[in-house]
A and B are shown apart, each in its own frame.
Chain A
Amino acid sequence: MTIRLKPVDAVIIGFGWSGALLAEALSGAGLSVLALERGQFRDTAEDFPPSRAPDELRYAVRHDLVVKPAENTITFRNRADQTALPVRAWGSFLPASGAGGGGVHWNGQTWRFRPSDFLLKSTIIERYGKNFLAPDLTIQDWGVTYAELEPYYDRFEYLCGISGKAGNLGGKIQPGGNPFEGARARDYPTPPLTMPYAPTLFAAAARACGYHPFPQPAANLSRAYTNPLGVTLGACSYCGFCERFGCGNYAKASPQTTVMPVLRRRPNFSLRTGCTVLTIAHDGKGGKARGVTYADESGQVFFQPAEIVVLSAYTFENIRLLLLSGIGTPYDPASGKGVVGRNYSYQTTSSVQLGFADTLLNPFIGAGALGMVVDDWNGEHYDHGPLGFIGGAYLAALATNGRPILNHPVPPGTPRWGAAWKRAVAKSYLRTTRLLASGSSLSHRGAYCDLDPGYRDRFGRPLLRLTFDFHPNDLKMSEFVTARLAEIARMMRPDWLVVAKRQAPYSIVPYQSTHNVGGAVIGGDPATSVVNPYLQSWEHDNLFIVGASAFPQNPSYNPTGTVAALALRAAEAITRRYLRAPGPLT
């Protein structure tokens, strides 16, 4: 029997970065706010102190901070003519669970997208003409511009204390920063981290190639910092246990280290963990969302009425809850009509591994977002006319993930076991590094999410079904940028080098990136988007769908900075405008 609870002003589904930012803004405006999180409560002192955090097997290999596939997974196929099968063990990406969500175990690479990223389709057409785009690409403009988002990027960077170096202050290019970035109002709140050896060698080689290396903007803080909410973060110790781990130093910006200490003191905010939202109740198209039905860990089902519903789970669960709740028209790949599940995209990554005979690189010294980057081969920073593809990648040397279970490289041709392998791994571990190309991913007609017709979760609900493969445009792009990355690698004069290209078919098995985006995208036209530029549902004006599910396609950069900027902009629109005059914001 469903227990009906007392109404709240706002209920938030999922307590990761998006949920925490909305919770802070809405409770700060005086609303009663309840956040529901499917995973467990977690905080630094109890759950990832330095005496427990640096455990590679537990966190990096067995995925302790990630949702268990037994609790929720997806099914996957490359093409619509295949039968999708369940992702039984995570591989290509690692959706989070628990308080703080992916904000706990992320690397901390904190980017802004460029002005042209928000106007991708019109920029490409203006520059190269309509016929340049393959007919099955479904890329579109965002309906929001960089200039409109800039204050919210700024707010997030200052909430986190991001370490970096500005490249463009108010239109003036700054030496040492990213000369290709959009204009920013002020510099980062803390200076860049200290660079270890491998990124330093990469930057020198990139300069020799004529490029413009700059420090990766990092949510691993170069020094202690107190944010505008009065919460103090510590300095990064370069411990090397960052991505897939919680930070024991309070040095990685996360909901725990930036907003939770404030939320805990607010009597009008509460967080209920172990609570899985089953559906969003609503009055039908054009009516209001009424609240959510959820189950706690005992299986007891509750109905929580709310005036405002914020859907801020991971991309996949945002899409699934919309489909399970009958909100929005499901996408139909045959006709190209419908919006929910449409325009899924990902990240097109590739890498080069390089080893030295004598140079000690000490890969155990690391952080999540510690490294040097060049942006010269990204987006519209170069002419795509003669190349026949759009998009690009940032190229980087990041001192990250140097732990030995998942990183024990040997030169090519080494046996995989035995005495020769042992000698090689003993020599190579300290003398090998990897360069990364993080490439864009374009949405296309055959990449989408819908409900699986067969496989179900522990509540008997259909799993989400992902149909995805890399578009030929992205494979062409990846081939090109990987060749540029290899040129920089050779300039570093390694003794050996292995180029790992990205090839089709996309595989769910090897880890690539937890940058699953789209499916409930932002836009100015309800025929091609699920939410308006304030992340407000076109169908229910008191439902806000927050997260990377809003991205119409994926630029090359890591998504968190933009997820947060969109969330903060939506939160401000709710508190300043929607509360006064509830209704459509556009």
Chain B
Amino acid sequence: MTRRDLLASVAAIALTGCAVQTPESGLRFLTPEETASLTAIADRLIPADALGPGAGTAGAARFIDRQLAGAYGTSRDLYMRPPFLPGVPSQGVQSPLTPAARYRAGLAGLDAHCRAAFAGSGFADLDGARQDRVLADLEAGRIMLADGGRAFFELVLRDTIDGFFADPHYGGNQGMVGWRLIGFPGARYDYREVVARHGEPYREPPVALA
């Protein structure tokens, strides 16, 4: 590898935020530490209770990892040409930052905040009540991260819910726990027999894509 190639590959990593591959973990973008934080966050956003497992247990971090490694994470399909000018809210998001870069920066910022505020503990090390307070502070804009704490909170909340209700093959709805929670039958694709049975419960279990 020439010096020029090396610089180019370093630049590429900096641009895309690509982590070193860790095949043993099955991760494609996130680091094990980031995964632990995200799992802990997701388990507070949609917690385990008598109704079923939480979103972290259902695979939120795996879902987000795979999404960030693909077209979504790199904003591959979006219009990303400059200039990025500040607009008004009705014009939509104008940011050169990809979701992958926002997760990398957001999780690092959250970790730094927690370690400073809680004597060296990261988010995943805190108890549930403290975790909830941190998330509520992020949501309310009381914790500022580089990309804006509130915006990062909204990103993680949306992706966690997306994964929890998406087909299980994406990784965030393992065991179809999101679908079972609300009574969505998934990819059944045929309700001719029940369309006219008004007000009756649907009793077939959910099915997923292969």
Contacts and interface: CB of A to CB of B under 8 A. Distances in A.
Nearest to B157: A417
A300 interface: no
A235 to B, nearest CB: 8
B140 to A, nearest CB: 11
A194 interface: yes
Contacts of A365: 191, 194-195
Contacts of A70: 76-80
Contacts of B132: 418
A416 interface: yes
B166 A248 contact: no
A423 B182 contact: no
Interface stretch (A110-118, A424-432, A511-519, A523-531): A424-432
A241 B210 CA distance: 17
A239 B188 contact: yes
A419 B49 contact: yes
Given A52-B209, A56-B166, A429 B189 contact: no
A64 B27 CA distance: 24
A322 to B, nearest CB: 22
Contact of A51 (B71, B79, B80, B209): B209
Contacts of A454: 83
Given A76-B91, A200-B198, A88 B79 contact: yes
Interface in A489-532: 505-509
Interface stretch (B6-14, B39-47, B109-117, B141-149): B39-47
A54 B187 contact: yes
B184 A425 contact: no
**Overall SS of chain B's interface:** loop
Given A91-B92, A422-B181, 4 more contacts: A53-B189, A62-B72, A85-B87, A197-B198
A85 B94 contact: yes
A419 B51 CA distance: 10
Interface in A155-207: 194-197, 200
Residue among A360, A364, A429, A456 having the largest count of chain B Cβ atoms under 10 Å: A364
Interface in B70-104: 71-72, 76-81, 83, 85, 87-94
A509 B92 contact: yes
Contacts of B196: 194-196
A509 B191 contact: no
B94 A404 contact: no
Contact of A422 (B47, B167, B191): B47
Contacts, number: 168
A61 interface: yes
B85 A83 contact: yes
B123 interface: no
Interface string B145-166: 0000000000001000110011
A300 to B, nearest CB: 23
18 contacts: A50-B187, A54-B189, A57-B170, A61-B162, A61-B166, A68-B77, A70-B77, A85-B87, A87-B92, A404-B182, A405-B165, A416-B157, A417-B45, A417-B46, A417-B157, A418-B47, A429-B182, A507-B92
B183 to A, nearest CB: 5
Contact residues on A (Cβ < 8 Å of other chain), bracket: 35 or more
A2 interface: no
Nearest to B201: A360
B5 to A, nearest CB: 27
B29 interface: no
A422 B93 contact: no
A136 interface: no
A235 B210 CA distance: 24
A586 interface: no
A194 B88 CA distance: 45
A405 B182 CA distance: 11
Nearest to B190: A237
B192 interface: yes
B78 A455 contact: no
B91 A54 contact: no
A423 B92 contact: no
Interface in A74-107: 76-78, 82-89, 91
